[in-house]
Each structure stands twice: as C-alpha cells, then as structure tokens.
C-alpha cells in the first residue's frame, strides 16, 4: 500500500515540477531603463559574370542607445538613437567604394560622410511588445532631416533627391523590419527547456523562424533558432532574389529579457537581375555574420 502511495506522490511531484518548469520568456522593462547595443555585420556578396567573379564585402558597425521612456500596460515605449556608425564597402574589382566612420569628423567636401554623420544623435521612438514584436516605430523623419541638414551649401533640387534616397533606407516601416530581427525572439506562451515555437519576419527580408529554449537560469536565457529566409530587393537597376537559411544563438538577461549577446549567420543563393543589361540573370551568393552585444 505504501508503494502505491509513494508512486502517486512521485507522479504528482513530477507533474508539479513540469508545470513549474514552464518559463515565461519576455521583456520586462521599467521606465528609465537604458540599454546600449553594439552591432557588427560582415556581408559577402559574390556574383559570377562571364567567368569572372565579383566579390563585394559590406562591413557595418554601430552603437545605439535605447531608453525606456514609458510603460503602457504590457507595452514599452523606447527612445532610440545611434551613438556611432561605420560603413565600409569593398570590391575586388573596383576597390573601396565607401568608407564612413562617424567617430571621425567629416570633411565638408565628403557629402556621403556628412550625410551619415547626421545619423548620429536624432531620436526615433519604438513601441515594443513583451515578445519583442515591434508594434510601431515613429520619428525616423528625424534621422532623415538630421542627415540631410548636415550637408551644407546644396540647392533645393539636390536636397530633395538626397532626401528621397535616404528615406528608402530610413523610414518607419523598414526600420521596424530591420530592428525586429534582433528584438522579436520570445513566444506568446510559457515554454519549457528544449521546447520550440515559431515566428515570422516580413518585408524585403523574410524569415520563418523556429526558436528553441536551450537553457533557463535565474540570470540568463539561452535561445537558438533555425530559419528559412528569403531576400527580395529592387533597386534602380538591380533586382535581387535570394533564398537560404539562417541560424541564431542568443543569450539574454532573465530579469529584463534584453540580449547580452546574439550571433546571426546567413547563407543565401539565387540571382541578381541586371535591368540595364537586358535583364540578364547573374548567379549570386550571400553570406553574412551579424553580432549584437550589450555594452
């Protein structure tokens, strides 16, 4: 009789443990919280044209500040601004195409450097849900104005053309899609270690992510993700259609949910369609590694 009692007790204990082991993964901020994030990205694009190989390497570095300015129920309102920004584009055929570093004062005659120098400082605002999904971003026009107004002695027509170009990259909609790639990492429901969940990124870059809780402790959360990804972009003269896979590893802080480190690796292949060359399809591969680190 005792053995049956102990068995029932044991099964009840296991059941209670399993319930307790389900963890609610989410962001948990309070007003006044400030986070500094360092981002490094290295992207290699290879195109094969008439038996010749064109390799282009894009290197992007940035530090941005995120400050919680309000908590609205379960939503968090954050002011975000760039503290520094670096961009380098190298080609094996054409050499250095861009070399921007906002930590170095730009010469007045370097228009590109002056534009990106104006990116540093102006704020935009983000509304973040507990899962990391971004409900909205507003105020990216502050970035655009900062970048355009940092260039002096230009006529209205040139300024309008510059604004149109900058707005393609820095607008509310595209900024949501960009930043959500490192914020939208948590599930709606509680999960146990080794349990999985799915979410999706949309836009020119799409990802169908399968996340997994690898480990949970009082201090840190370890997550991993595998994703099927697609990149479809259209510029003035080139359409890029690529597909592949992505792997993500992240360590976050249990108390706040904010990332400590994150590494994202991507491998894609497909074609670039040159619109000004009779729509010729150029075999294209893209590999990239993106890292994020809290400072």
Q: Which tokens go with 49?
A: 């044209």
Neighbour-count burial for 203-212, b at 16+ CB within 10 Å, e otherwise:
bebbbebebe
**Per-residue pLDDT, 14:** 45
pLDDT for 194-244, tens place per residue? 999 999 998 899 999 999 999 999 999 999 999 999 999 888 788 999 999
Please report which confidence band the pLDDT of residue 270 belongs to, taking 50, 70 and 90 as the band edges: very high
Q: Is residue 6 part of a domain?
A: no
| Predicted TM-score (pTM) of this structure | 0.89
The reply to whether 266 falls in a domain is yes
Mean pLDDT across the stretch 7-26? 59
In 3D space, the residue among 131, 157, 159 whose CA is nearest the CA of residue 147 turns out to be 159
What pLDDT is stored for residue 159 in this prediction?
87
Give percent above pLDDT 90 in the chain.
77
State the pairing for strand pair 220-234/238-253. antiparallel
At residue 16, the pLDDT reads 45
pLDDT higher than 80, residue 11: no
Average per-residue pLDDT for the chain: 91
- The residue assigned the tokens 């259209």 is 234
* Residue 15, C-beta contacts closer than 8 angstroms, at least 6 positions apart: none
Q: Is the CB of residue 282 less than 8 Å from the CB of residue 47?
A: yes
Q: Residue 21 domain-assigned?
A: no
User: Residue 101 belongs to a domain with what CATH number?
Assistant: 2.30.230
In a domain, 14, yes or no: no
Report pLDDT for 15.
46
Bigger pLDDT: 236 or 102?
A: 102
- Is 17 contained in some domain? no
Instruction: Give me the number of domains the chain comprises.
Output: 1
Residue 19 has pLDDT above 50, yes or no: no
The more confident residue out of 49 and 75 is 75
Range of the domain at 74: 26-294
Please state the rounded mean pLDDT for residues 181-203.
Answer: 95
End-to-end CA distance of the chain: 60
In a domain, 44, yes or no: yes
Overall size of the chain counted in residues = 295
């Amino acid at each position: 009789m005792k053995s049956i009692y102990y068995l029932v007790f044991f099964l009840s204990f296991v059941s209670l443990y399993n319930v307790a082991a389900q963890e609610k993964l989410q962001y948990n901020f309070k007003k006044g919280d400030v986070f500094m994030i360092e981002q490094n990205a290295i992207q290699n694009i290879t195109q094969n044209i008439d038996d010749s190989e064109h390799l282009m390497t894009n290197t992007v570095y940035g530090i941005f500040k995120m400050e919680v300015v309000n908590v609205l129920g379960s939503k968090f309102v954050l002011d975000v601004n760039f503290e520094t920004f670096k961009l380098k584009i190298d080609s094996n055929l054409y050499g250095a195409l861009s070399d921007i570093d906002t930590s170095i004062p730009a010469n007045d005659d370097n228009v590109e450097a002056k534009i990106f120098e104006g990116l540093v400082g102006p704020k935009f605002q983000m509304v973040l849900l507990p899962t990391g999904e971004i409900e909205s971003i507003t105020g990216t026009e502050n970035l655009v104005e900062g970048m355009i107004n940092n260039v002096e002695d230009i006529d209205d027509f040139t300024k309008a053309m510059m604004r149109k170009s900058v707005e393609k990259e820095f607008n509310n909609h595209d900024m949501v899609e960009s930043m959500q790639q490192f914020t939208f990492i948590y599930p709606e429901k509680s999960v146990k270690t080794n349990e999985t969940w799915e979410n999706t990124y949309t836009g020119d870059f799409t990802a169908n992510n399968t996340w997994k809780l690898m480990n949970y402790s009082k201090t840190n959360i370890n997550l991993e993700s595998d994703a099927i990804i697609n990149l479809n972009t259209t510029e003035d003269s080139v359409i890029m259609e690529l597909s592949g896979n992505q792997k993500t590893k992240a360590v976050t802080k249990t108390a706040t949910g904010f990332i400590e480190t994150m590494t994202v690796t991507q491998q894609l292949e497909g074609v670039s369609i040159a619109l000004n060359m009779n729509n010729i399809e150029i075999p294209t591969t893209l590999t990239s590694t993106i890292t994020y680190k809290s400072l």
